[in-house]
Structure 1
Amino acid sequence: MLKIEEVKDIEIYIGTLSELLVQVVDDGASIGFLPPMKLSAARQYWQTVLNPDVLLFIAKLNNEIVGTIQVHLCTKQNGLHRAEIAKLMTGPNARRKGVARALMKVAEERAVSEGRTLLVLDTREGDPSNHLYESIGFIPAGKIPNFALSQTGELDTTVIYYKNI
C-alpha cells in the first residue's frame, strides 16, 4: 500500500533518502546531479534540504521509501502566491506504480493549503516526467536550450512548466 508522509526531521530518513538519490541519479534522472553519485554527496545534500520554506514529502510502498518530492514556497513579497515543485524522484524499482502521481497530488494539495495559486517546475526535455506533468494539467511555458550538463558532457534543454491551482 502506498503512503505519503511529510518529513519534519530529516535525520531519521537521511540514510534511506541518500540511497534513493544515488539510485535515481545513477539511473539517469536529471535532478541537479551527475552520475556516478557518491553516497557522501547525497548525504551532504539531504542535510541541507529542510528549512521553513521547503516542504518535503516521502512515498512509502510496503513501508519502504520509494519516492520523494519537495515544495519550495516562494518567500518574496511579489511571489507569495506561488511555489516550485522540486526533486520529484521515484526509485527505479517503484516506477509505473503511481508513486510520482501520488506525490504530485499531495504536493499540489499542500500548496493550496499554504495559499498558493501557481505551481512551477522544470524538467529535462524528453524525459518521461514531461508526460506525467502534462497529464496532470501542467502547461509548458517554454524551453531553455543548453540548460543542464548531462553525464555525456552535452548540454540538455529544459522545459519550464506551470499550473494554476
Structure 2
Amino acid sequence: MTSHLTPVSAAGRQRRPAIALLAVSCSLALAVTIGGVIGGLRINTTPSEPLGLWRVAPLDRPVQVGDMVFVCPPETDTTLEGFERGYLRSGLCPGGFGPLIKTVTALGGQRIEIAGAITIDGRPIANSNLVSRDGPGRPLHPYEGGTVPSGFVFLHSPFPGSWDSRYFGPVPASGVLGLAKEVLTYAP
C-alpha cells in the first residue's frame, strides 16, 4: 500500500509561522484601532505628558482650570508650522492633526502675560519658562499675551520643551475632546 500524502517542503514549513505572526499582528492592530475609535483610547508618543496609553473620558460639564484634556488644535498658520516642524502628529482632528494632551490653565476673560515665563491674572505659572529655540535650533515665537477670548482656553504642560499655548495662544474650547486619563503610561 502506498501513501498519497505529499511531503511538505521546508519553504512551506517556514511560511506557516510567518503567516500566523502576520495574522496575529494584523488582528492586534485592528483591535487597537477599534479600541481607539470606540473606546476613546489614544497613544501618547511625546514627552510633554507620560508616554503610553491614554483614554479620552467624556466631559459632561464645562471645561475648568486644572483639567487635563485632549484637544484638537485649530487649523492656523501657527499650528500648520507646528505640524511641519513635527510638534504635532498626524491624526483625526480637523487639519489632519492628532489631539494634544494639555492642562487648562486659563479660561475666557483671564489675562495672560508673557515674559520669561507666564503669569495668569498676575499669578505666576510654575514650569512655564519660555525657550527661544526648539531642539534643532529653529526660532520659537511666543504668544503675545492678552485676555483669553470667551469660549477659548489657554493650555500648558510643565515639560520644558512642550509646544503649548505659550507659543500658539488660546484655542477654542469647542476643540476639547474630553478629559485625558492615563491607562498604561511610563514617565521617563
Q: Provide TM-score, normalisation by structure 2.
A: 0.24
**Which structure has the bigger radius of gyration?**
2
The answer to which structure, 1 or 2, has the higher relative contact order (CA under 8 A, 6+ apart) is 2
Higher helix fraction (1 or 2): 1
